[in-house]
Amino acid sequence: EENGGTELLGIFPGKVQRFSADMPGDNGLPLKIPHMGWSQVNQRQQHPLWQGIADGARFYFVHSYHVVPEDRTLIAATTDYGMEFVSAIAVGNLFAVQFHPEKSADAGLCLLKNFVSWEPS
């Protein structure tokens, strides 16, 4: 469903929405979709996977959709691309990201290292 979002798997209440093709970019032209390239990730909650990663570090994205969780406490990070969108969620032993850590240079390698050594309770 283009405007209302798409139902998720039912793990968390919310929607997945496509970026709007008419979102204006900094130059006044519509933003390109898919969102492809390096963008800052703004940490919204403390989490062991952020250890050693600066708030605002850049990660690599390739996507046309973003999640909109009903429970805002799940939001671990946001990113701006014509609008602020959720780029990571976390709860319990789950940590999910919209970006590609494996393509995100030092910050991505640090996140993956943190994931391998993470011992969620």
Tens digits of per-residue pLDDT, 46-72? Answer: 999 999 999 999 999 999 999 999 999
Mean pLDDT of the region 15-19 = 90
Domain limits, the chain: 6-22+31-117
Res. 6 pLDDT band, cuts 50 70 90: low
Q: What is the pLDDT of residue 8?
A: 58
- Give the whole-angstrom CA distance, residue 107 versus residue 4: 33
Q: Is the pLDDT of residue 110 over 80?
A: yes
Q: Phi and psi dihedrals of 28, rounded to 5?
A: 85, -15
Whose CA is closest to 102, among 89, 116, 91, 90? Answer: 116
CATH topology (fold) of 6-22+31-117: Rossmann fold (3.40.50)
Whether 15 and 68 have beta carbons less than 8 Å apart is answered as yes
Q: Is the pLDDT of residue 2 over 60?
A: no
Res. 11 pLDDT band, cuts 50 70 90: confident
DSSP labels, 42-57: EE-S--GGGTT--TT-
